[in-house]
Structure 1
Amino acid sequence: MPKNWLSYDQQVDLLSQRGMRVDDNVAASEFLSRVNYYRFSGFFRHWQHDPAKGDNRFFEGTSFDDIRSLYDSEQELASVCDELLHPLEILLRTKFAYAYGRHVGVTGMFARGEGFTQSPQQDAERVEEHALSNLDRSKEAFVAHYRDDVKQGRTYKPEAYDRMPIWVAVEAFSFGTLSRLIEASGDSGVLDHIADSMNTSRKLLPGQVKSFVYLRNRVAHCAQLWNHRVLDVPGLQPKTSRRIKRTYRNFSDHSVYKILVALDDVATRSGISTNWLEDTIEPLLDNHPLLAKGITQPARYGEMPSNTLID
């Protein structure tokens, strides 16, 4: 069906018509002028009877202020995640450049795929192509300084980066590319060096870094974390998982909380944070049990009981 343009006040009226309690229409309209109605609907659809089949009525007792409080709490969670992901990403860039330079080579080696284990699939893209793509698109002056004008058509050839040290190149890689390079460095000694220097598991680190990229991307793009089922699930030591479940709370395998546990573990082991989960995450979740429910045990639309949603 065609959609009609609605003013912010009309959007509030629509929510009221569908049964949501709105105690302050002006404040609600002002909120929707800052937070897109469609973004907000990703939260409030859990309070609707059956939106997939067009039944957009809200459960009795549904409150705009309650859902807004949930949204605001998630924004706070995203902010504190970003505060730790940022220094951890910088640490991983530093550790990779140092280890690669020592075990494989300093200049140009990465551009030729040296030290990386390639996919056995014949038509798979080579690992270094991700790094080269990042460098080719970069407008940074430090990249241009080390990049020679050696091209095939409009694309730079690997030889264009023969003078570029790995510690320069790594600063132009996306976090996703860095994750791929770390994962592909198992046979060259680079991954072992990184894991040892961070006092963490060689086996678990690549998957954990991949999950950190996943979380960072969701935070960077302001994507919903509450009731989101994670695709890139990190591994945890069994004793770590048992300790967290015993000390704090239970969590499902595809929860955002599992990434937070892995993030806390790696940050603690590498020395960039202490008690982040206990001192920062847990108080936030304790203050908002509904946020905690969707972060630790994500549910699809219709799966979360109405008595959980409405106090």
Structure 2
Amino acid sequence: MAEARVVGDDHPADSSSSAGGRRRRPLTLRAIDPLPSLSKKLKWEGPLSFRGVCEAESVLGRASRPPGQSGPRRRRRGCLCPLPCRHELLRFSGYARYFQKAPHLGDDDFRQGVVFDEIRAVYDADEALRIALVRSLAKVELMLRSHVARVVADEHGAYGRYLEESFYTDIGDREPTVESCLRDIDRSKDRHILHYRESGINRADYSKLPVWSAVEALSFGTLSKAIERGAGGDLADAVATSTGIAKGGFAYRVRALVYLRNRCAHHSRLWHHSVLDAGPTPNNVRKKAKREAGQFEPRSVLDIIASLDDMASRAEVADPLLPRLLVEHPRDSAFWQGLVRPQSPRDHGRDTP
């Protein structure tokens, strides 16, 4: 197995120490497959394994920094740890994979010139992006709840109708949208929902539950389904008009926001991630974003961010996020390139040792 040697820190002298009473122990940083039994079934982005974890944690941050430059490190169990947390090694390895030479060919060495701080910077930037997105996504989600409640109440009545199966246009053998709504409402423990629920019955009579209370109990995913399928498919256009956002592809743009919110909520990697459920970002919105940020792939996270910025700005609920990203990340940085041109990791093949 290919290995990369890292110079170790000073340790107390032993029988093999130099006359000075101190010695420098070489450490080995290598990539391993922690579950070999699964390697034939899964493409495992193996974690970084340190031969002598405490020693590696104590020196890796210093050894990878330019001479004379130091950075904050946390003391944990008697060693200085440059990683966010020892328990995050597995997550961290998913980022480190992109800095290796050819793991798909069995070469796990890191590319020439790669330093630990470069990988750590990408790791931290990805976390910061998720946190920033959660704030903007929350503002847009709350705005959508309010407008859905208002449109339904004004055009279809505040009670009963929105919980009838015929109100939604469902597709194929998927779960009826009304069942998704009722399940979320049944799960709620909020007093404004419990008020309409009697104990000892399988399902409460929610015919008197106002829509503005019900929407607060719906998950963002269920709310997205209701927008897409409600009022025979017309609810999406009505909500878009109410918010001042373009009607074209509105429901699918909301669904893309749900996808992005879920990845952020589960702390999933956004860097080098190709969005599976990308919504149809309007051409004028995409062109405007590209004038500011340059070219990016249609399934990149930046495409959804451009759509989010447009919706947040038009509804006047949040400031755009893209300009902040441009200030914080140079276009030639590893993090920016991973956002605009996401690539799948070149992982070990089935026959790669």
Q: Please, what TM-score do these two structures have when normalized by structure 2?
A: 0.74
Please state how far the C-alpha of 1:277 moved relative to its aligned partner: 2.5
Larger proportion of strand: 2
Please state how far the C-alpha of 1:186 moved relative to its aligned partner: 5.6
Partner of 1:61: 113
Return closer, same or farther for 1:138/1:8 CA change in 2, 3 Å cut-off.
farther
Alignment match of 2:192 (pick from 142, 153, 168): 142
Please state how far the C-alpha of 1:30 moved relative to its aligned partner: 4.8
Unaligned regions of 5+ residues in structure 1, if any?
Answer: 304-311
Alignment match of 2:270 (pick from 205, 214, 225): 225
* Matched residue type, 1:204: G
C-alpha distance in 2, partners of 1:73/1:288?
Answer: 15
C-alpha distance in 2, partners of 1:109/1:141?
Answer: 22
Quick check: which has more Rg, 1 or 2? 2
Please state how far the C-alpha of 1:34 moved relative to its aligned partner: 5.8
Alignment root-mean-square deviation, CA? 3.1
CA contact (8 A) 1:116 1:127 kept: yes
* Matched residue type, 2:112: E
* Matched residue type, 1:187: G
C-alpha distance in 2, partners of 1:266/1:34?
Answer: 39
Percent of residue pairs bearing the same amino acid type: 29
C-alpha distance in 2, partners of 1:38/1:172?
Answer: 35
* Matched residue type, 1:182: I
C-alpha distance in 2, partners of 1:180/1:287?
Answer: 36
Unaligned regions of 5+ residues in structure 2, if any?
Answer: 1-32, 37-46, 75-79, 348-353
* Matched residue type, 1:140: D
Please state how far the C-alpha of 1:226 moved relative to its aligned partner: 0.1
Larger proportion of helix: 1
Please state how far the C-alpha of 1:267 moved relative to its aligned partner: 1.0
CA contact (8 A) 1:227 1:295 kept: yes
Please state how far the C-alpha of 1:138 moved relative to its aligned partner: 1.8
Please state how far the C-alpha of 1:183 moved relative to its aligned partner: 0.5
For the residue of structure 2 that corresponds to 1:56, the secondary structure is strand
C-alpha distance in 2, partners of 1:141/1:109?
Answer: 22
* Matched residue type, 1:301: P
Alignment match of 1:128 (pick from 171, 175, 178): 178
C-alpha distance in 2, partners of 1:52/1:131?
Answer: 45
- Note the alpha carbon deviations across 1:47-104, whole angstroms, 9 max, x for none: 1234456543222222111111111111221121112111111000000011111222
C-alpha distance in 1, partners of 2:288/2:225?
Answer: 30
- Note the alpha carbon deviations across 1:192-228, whole angstroms, 9 max, x for none: 2211122222222111111111111111111100000
- Note the alpha carbon deviations across 1:278-301, whole angstroms, 9 max, x for none: 2x2321233872211111110122
Return closer, same or farther for 1:150/1:118 CA change in 2, 3 Å cut-off.
farther
CA contact (8 A) 1:147 1:164 kept: no
Alignment match of 1:293 (pick from 306, 329, 337): 337
Return closer, same or farther for 1:75/1:302 CA change in 2, 3 Å cut-off.
same
Partner of 1:209: 254
For the residue of structure 2 that corresponds to 1:57, the secondary structure is strand
- Note the alpha carbon deviations across 1:111-142, whole angstroms, 9 max, x for none: 222422122x2x33211111111112222222
* Matched residue type, 1:133: R
C-alpha distance in 1, partners of 2:154/2:102?
Answer: 58
1:242 aligns with 2:287: yes
For the residue of structure 1 that corresponds to 2:83, the secondary structure is helix
